[in-house]
Amino acid sequence: MIPEVANVLGTLRSTSENSRLLAHEGLNRLATKIGEAHEMEVEFKIGEGYPVTVNEGAFTEFAAQTVRELFGEKAYRPMRSPMMGAEDFSYLLQRFPGAMLFLGVKPDDPSLAAPCHSNRMILNESAMAHGAALHAQVARNFLAEIS
């Protein structure tokens, strides 16, 4: 039996607002044309979701320098490629210069490493102190720079 109604659900992530808009337009066009080809009515809805998280270039370098000052030259490593995470911090980055940094929290025993947000995740809790120190030092350096 062929159902009267079908729903397709998913998540769309991108590395720029422009590519996100292009994907929205392309998916709408694709769904509409598939519907036309099969003489079906298509209702296309897509929620905005979180904006793309985009680090501000100058602030990224400012934060990277703070990492190097606190933990040494080798402590900061830029990402090799963009990530497509969904993050509410993106709302702040739309209004204020800032940067999202990742804190290395992998356990000392590599065999215990599991992805973040996994129910098997074990983190090296001593790294949390580094994260707190970094946040405080970024704030101190920023306040010193603007005053």
Find, among 20, 16, 112, the residue nearest to 55 by Cα: 16
Q: Which domain holds residue 133?
A: 57-146
Q: What is the pLDDT of residues 117-128, one digit of tens each?
A: 889 998 888 899
CB of 97 within 8 A of CB of 59? yes
Q: Do 43 and 63 reside in the same domain of the chain?
A: no
Q: What whole-number distance in Å separates Cα of residue 80 and Cα of residue 66?
A: 20
Asked if 80 and 13 sit in the same domain, the reply is no
Tell me: the pLDDT tens digits for 18-74?
999 999 999 999 999 999 999 999 999 998 888 999 999 999 999 999 999 999 999
Same domain, 97 and 134: yes
Same domain, 69 and 16: no
Number of domains in the chain: 2
Residues 94 and 71 in one domain: yes
